[in-house]
Amino acid sequence: MVFVPVPITLDSVRDAPKVLLHDHLDGGLRPTTVIELADEIGYRALPETDPDALAAAFLAASHSGSLERYLETFGHTVAVMQNAAALKRVAAECAEDLADDGCVYAEVRFAPELHTEQGLEHHAIVEAVLEGFRIGTERAAARGRHVRIGCLLTAMRHAARSREIAELAIRYRDAGVVGFDIAGAEAGFPPTRHLDAFEYLRQQNAHFTIHAGEAFGLPSIWEALQWCGADRLGHGVRIADDVVASEDGEVKLGRLAAYVRDKRIPLEMCPTSNVHTGAARSLAEHPIGLLAKLRFRVTVNTDNRLMSGVSLSGELAGLVETFGYGWADLQWFAVNAMKSAFIGFDERLALIEDVVKPGYAALSA
Ligand SMILES: [Zn+2]
């Protein structure tokens, strides 16, 4: 009998077991949900009230080249996520959507401090989201789609709540919160402003990632790793600035890039999002191609599924088209991400051996 690999199409990529480490809850709502939740609370500022038109408006704003317009879109999603029922619904749908896209493990992050406008307290916000993930995971499982969701709590770089959010992450570490993150504008807000949060987390033997090296260059990555002690880099795309390829094809790594590769520091790369925000000119020119070739610990992520109009399957299918990747490469991305997840080693190993590898074996045999 001759086995022929399954052709790589968007549909077959959707069937492959995938692992997602960088996805924002407030960037991944269904357009219909944004509209319905806005209706419920009388929020009238949405740019469109038809789901397709709203999705198009968000996508247009995300690559308008204007950071202001891009951030406005989060203003809308966050505005409709201010009560427990809404948070629960959004989290449940997120889990279902990721499961339906073939994600077998996903870490989804959100910033509790952005959901207090109607007086919700941080613990109630976290509990609503965790409950939503549980409900969505169960609903998907009933349809035969199995995903495990780990939650990351994000603190905003420009604010001063990071220590408090870090404590919240520890409080809920056995209830589904697997790590911590800081996000927001890089320029002018170095991660070293939040050192007390990172020190606290290290003392608690906890994991964290830092958005670094997206808009801002190598100093931001260096601080995140060498001052703050980040386990992973959110984006980290600018590490490519420390990689010099000469005309004859020889590639030389600077000390920081060498450190990142030697220590197997995971890069949570989000190609489409980077193209939209201008951190990369195009998919073809995105450093992910070079960094993957040099065998950095590259992972592929969505960042904001609604704003960028992407899914993890779509993102991977785009890379297949651009860089000619095959099933072995897609398995490598999934295993890289699973190895870099913030859940325990035994659980990561079980997902790699029992789910990820058999899944790709079935597709590439
Ligand atoms: Zn992000």
Is-above-0.75 flag for pTM? yes
- Tens-place pLDDT, residues 220-238: 999 999 999 999 999 999 9
Give the separation between CA 234 and CA 211, rounded to whole angstroms. 4
- Tens-place pLDDT, residues 304-338: 999 999 999 999 999 999 999 999 999 999 999 99
Does residue 4 fall inside a structural domain? no
Ligand 1 centroid, distance to 113 Cα (angstroms): 16
The rounded percent of the chain whose pLDDT value lies above 70 is: 99
Domain total of the chain: 1
53 contacts: CB under 8 Å, gap ≥ 6: none
Supply the pLDDT for residue 25: 98
309 φ/ψ sector (left φ>0, alpha ψ -120 to 50, else beta): left
Ligand 1 centroid, distance to 269 Cα (angstroms): 9
**Over 90: is that where the pLDDT of 216 sits?**
no
Ligand 1 centroid, distance to 268 Cα (angstroms): 9
Does residue 316 fall inside a structural domain? yes
Instruction: Give the domain extent around 310.
Output: 10-29+81-364
- Confidence grade of residue 2 (pLDDT, cut at 50, 70, 90): low
Ligand 1 centroid, distance to 110 Cα (angstroms): 10
Does residue 38 fall inside a structural domain? no
- Tens-place pLDDT, residues 106-122: 999 999 999 999 999 99
Supply the pLDDT for residue 63: 82
Give the separation between CA 238 and CA 222, rounded to whole angstroms. 11
Ordered alpha helix ranges (H), 218-270: 218-222, 255-262
Closest CA to 108 of 82, 122, 126: 126
Does residue 337 fall inside a structural domain? yes
**Over 90: is that where the pLDDT of 248 sits?**
no
Give the separation between CA 253 and CA 277, rounded to whole angstroms. 26
Q: What is the mean pLDDT of residues 262-283?
A: 93
Does residue 205 fall inside a structural domain? yes
Ligand 1 centroid, distance to 285 Cα (angstroms): 20
72 contacts: CB under 8 Å, gap ≥ 6: 61
Ligand 1 centroid, distance to 24 Cα (angstroms): 6
Three-class SS of residue 5? coil
Q: How many of the other CB atoms lie within 10 Å of CB of 281?
A: 10
Does residue 335 fall inside a structural domain? yes
- Tens-place pLDDT, residues 117-138: 999 999 999 999 999 999 999 9
Domain CATH code at residue 280: 3.20.20.140
Does residue 42 fall inside a structural domain? no
Structure tokens at 261: 């590769």
Amino acid identity of 267?
L
Ligand 1 centroid, distance to 152 Cα (angstroms): 12
Does residue 176 fall inside a structural domain? yes
Supply the pLDDT for residue 190: 80
Ligand 1 centroid, distance to 211 Cα (angstroms): 6
Give the separation between CA 333 and CA 326, rounded to whole angstroms. 11
Residues carrying an active site annotation = 214
